[in-house]
């Protein structure tokens, strides 16, 4: 059957400053097909689509709709051409209801009346098989509900070309299945659908044709039935890469963190972490899987001392048995106190009590490393602030999800960012920039950070480089426990693998690593065990070597509400 071209782009180029985001891209979309736009993070997929949606304006090139040249300079123009885009970061007003969001920006002749809008929304939802309450506020919605609102928003405007930017990133496998069913039914309805993604299996599952982008350029468009994962990867990355992550067996795992019956509430008083119990062992990577916003962030922040705890325990086991006592984190008074409680022994195995010794002698003995701990330190982290945790000598590193909003200071250079966790050192009131500068230079060199200099604001660096700076600093801290939340989000394949390797190396060094991820394939390949979390509660802990994606997907939604279940 001969298909009509719905939309085509010719020679489209877009630059940001000196960066070329898209270079002479040609692309065609037919009526009634699903076209996948495939490419790594940062290859310009989203930028290209934003030019169809009127968010960006191309520097060069032409766009044709149904054979006629068109100029799209605003989202309004895009809507008039019946092009609708569902952005990866949902464009919804949190404080509005679903219906208010859907009707926003539309021009109807009749008087605005929320009731008729509600009815009309329900009608469209029924036609395509969505389940939604038009009067629910967005801030009360789950991620998949929000996505439904976004799709309805586009359909309400009568769009016949739908662009979806990474629609599956935040969904469970079951929700993805449902979404694909809806997309296929819309395709049957004669609509053209463009889906931006970097996940090969989804491309193969849902699309009719695939357009591959690499470094802003259009490489090829192929029929999906003729493509394989390997051929697509090669086109996407430009060279054959092995996508295997070396996973070694944990060596001498010892419990580092023991979390029991942890409960937290958020600022609005709603429970966000519910009765969570698990342990983290040295020399292993514990993955945390779950829908975005299921309590992962609060859980990690609770461990790091940033989230108040309602009940439960967080115990850190500091491996000290047989290791020398230092004054690094302990004062003389504290050391004397511990000695009196028989906490130390000497090289010869005899207990050390410091009875009758002068302070000077004690300092010398401890300083020479001759006094050893009898037992591991067991420290309760409950109710401790991040500063107290550090002062107790607990080497807990944390790579938060919000890199520039929490892990780093965007307007400061790498040097000043290195000081963030260590600037308190020393008793003078002034900061020492020499050591941090040295560390900054080391990290730039070792992790191949691409930056004009140590004082360039980190905000100007690319996502991958920002992450290297952050992870580099946290690793330089020689952690016993390393927590990383979505450390590869938004990174290209090469940077992602650099990060996986860094985490693996930490694991081999005996660090207990917690890895919060969204890509189940990566979680299954990288981790030793995977903890699945849903609405703040643990729904299972599985062995990553034997578990399947479907199994984890089911756990991710196990106790979800009925409404979403049969949407």
Closer residue to other proteins (CB): 74 or 326: 74
In whole angstroms, how close is the CB of 224 to other proteins at the nearest point? 29
Helices assigned H by DSSP within 94-140: 98-103, 114-128
> What is the binding site for other proteins (CB under 8 A)?
15-18, 53-57, 59-60, 62, 68-71, 73-76, 78-79, 85, 87, 91-96, 100-101, 103-106, 112, 139, 153, 268, 304, 306, 385-387, 389-390, 398, 400, 402, 404-412, 416, 419-421, 423-424, 429-431, 460
Among candidate residues 177, 219, 235, the one with its CA nearest the CA of residue 202: 177
Least spacing, CB of residue 96 vs other proteins, in Å: 7
Provide CB contacts within 8 A for 239, sequence distance 6+: none
How far is it, in rounded angstroms, from Cα 328 to Cα 341? 20
Residue 540 pairs in a beta bridge with 532
Three-state SS string over 351-362 comes to: ECCCCCCCHHHH
The region that residue 488 occupies, defined by phi over 0 for left and psi between -120 and 50 for alpha, beta otherwise, is: alpha
Tell me the closest approach of the beta carbon of residue 412 to other proteins, in angstroms. Answer: 7
Measured from the CB atom, the residue of 16 and 347 that comes closer to other proteins is 16
Q: How far apart are CA 16 and CA 460, in angstroms?
A: 12
Decide: residue 90, CB within 10 A, 0-12 exposed, 13-18 middle, 19+ buried: middle
Q: Kindly tell me which of 294 and 307 has the beta carbon lying closer to other proteins.
A: 307
**Do residues 296 and 516 make contact, with C-beta atoms less than 8 angstroms apart?**
yes
In angstroms, the Cα distances linking 110 to 104, 113, 116, 445, 492 are 15, 9, 10, 64, 48
| Nearer to other proteins among residue 78 and residue 530 (C-beta) | 78
The enclosing H or E element of 440 equals helix 434-446
Instruction: Say if residues 187 and 32 touch (Cβ distance below 8 Å).
Output: yes
**Listed residue (435, 410, 432, 421) closest to 477, CA to CA:** 421
Nearer to other proteins, 62 or 364 (CB): 62
Cβ closer to other proteins: 403 or 529?
403
**Phi-psi domain of 76 (left: phi exceeds 0; alpha: psi -120 through 50; beta: other):** alpha
Q: Which is nearer to other proteins, 95 or 334 (CB)?
A: 95
Q: What's the min distance (Å) between Cβ of 105 and other proteins?
A: 3
Q: Under a CB-based contact definition with an 8 Å cutoff, are residues 190 and 22 in contact?
A: no
Least distance to other proteins from the beta carbon of 55, Å? 7
Q: Which is nearer to other proteins, 271 or 457 (CB)?
A: 457
CA–CA dist 362, 368 (Å, integer): 10
For the bound state, the minimum distance from the C-beta of residue 487 to other proteins, rounded and expressed in Å, comes to 15
Q: Contact 190/160 with Cβ under 8 angstroms? A: yes
Nearer to other proteins, 137 or 336 (CB): 137
Dig out the tokens for 544 from the structure: 């990553």
Nearer to other proteins, 150 or 564 (CB): 150
What stretch of H or E contains 288?
strand 285-289
- Closest separation in Å from C-beta 6 to other proteins: 17
């Amino acid at each position: 059957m001969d298909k009509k071209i719905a939309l085509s782009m010719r020679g489209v180029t877009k630059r940001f400053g000196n960066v070329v985001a898209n270079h002479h891209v040609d692309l065609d979309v037919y009526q009634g097909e699903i076209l996948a736009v495939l490419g790594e993070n940062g290859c310009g997929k989203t930028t290209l689509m934003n030019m169809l949606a009127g968010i960006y304006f191309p520097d060069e090139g032409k766009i044709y709709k149904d054979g006629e040249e068109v100029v799209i300079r605003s989202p309004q123009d895009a809507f008039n051409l019946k092009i609708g885009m569902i952005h990866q970061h949902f464009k919804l007003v949190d404080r509005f209801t679903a219906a208010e969001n859907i009707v926003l920006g539309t021009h109807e002749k009749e008087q605005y009346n929320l009731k008729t809008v509600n009815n009309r929304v329900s009608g469209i939802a029924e036609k395509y098989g969505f389940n939604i309450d038009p009067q629910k506020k967005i801030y009360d919605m789950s991620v998949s509900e929000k996505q439904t609102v976004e799709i309805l928003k586009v359909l309400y405007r009568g769009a016949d070309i739908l662009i979806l930017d990474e629609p599956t990133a935040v969904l469970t496998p079951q929700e993805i299945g449902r979404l694909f069913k809806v997309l296929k039914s819309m395709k049957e309805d004669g609509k053209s659908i463009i889906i931006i993604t970097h996940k090969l299996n989804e491309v193969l599952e849902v699309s009719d044709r695939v357009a591959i982008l690499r470094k802003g350029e259009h490489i090829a468009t192929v029929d999906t039935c003729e493509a394989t994962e390997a051929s697509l990867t090669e086109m996407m990355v430009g060279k054959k890469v092995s996508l295997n992550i070396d996973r070694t067996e944990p060596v001498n795992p010892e419990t580092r963190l023991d979390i029991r019956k942890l409960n937290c509430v958020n600022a609005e008083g709603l429970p966000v972490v519910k009765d969570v119990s698990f342990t983290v062992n040295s020399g292993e990577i514990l993955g945390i899987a779950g829908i975005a916003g299921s309590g992962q962030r609060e859980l990690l922040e609770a461990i790091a001392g940033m989230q108040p705890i309602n009940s439960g325990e967080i115990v850190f086991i500091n491996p000290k048995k047989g290791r020398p006592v230092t004054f690094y984190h302990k004062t003389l008074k504290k050391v004397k106190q511990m000695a009196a409680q028989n906490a130390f022994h000497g090289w010869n195995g005899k207990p050390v009590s410091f009875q009758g010794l002068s302070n000077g002698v004690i300092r010398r003995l401890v300083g020479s490393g001759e006094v050893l701990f009898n037992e591991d330190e067991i420290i309760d982290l409950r109710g401790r602030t991040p500063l107290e945790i550090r002062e107790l000598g607990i080497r807990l590193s944390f790579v938060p999800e919000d890199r520039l909003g929490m892990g780093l200071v965007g307007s400061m250079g790498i040097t000043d960012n290195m000081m963030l966790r260590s600037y308190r050192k020393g008793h003078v009131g002034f900061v020492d920039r020499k050591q941090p500068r040295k560390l900054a230079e080391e990290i730039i060199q070792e992790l191949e950070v691409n930056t004009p200099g140590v004082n360039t604001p980190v905000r100007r660096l690319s996502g991958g480089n920002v992450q290297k700076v952050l992870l580099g600093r946290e690793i330089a801290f020689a952690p016993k426990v390393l927590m990383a939340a979505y450390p590869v989000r938004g990174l290209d394949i090469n940077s992602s693998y650099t990060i996986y390797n860094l985490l693996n190396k930490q694991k081999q060094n005996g660090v207990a690593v917690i890895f919060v991820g969204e890509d189940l394939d990566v979680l299954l390949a990288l981790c030793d065990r995977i903890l699945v979390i849903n609405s703040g509660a643990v729904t299972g802990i599985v062995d990553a070597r034997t578990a399947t994606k479907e199994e984890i997907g089911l756990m991710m939604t196990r106790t979800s509400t009925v409404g979403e279940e049969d949407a």
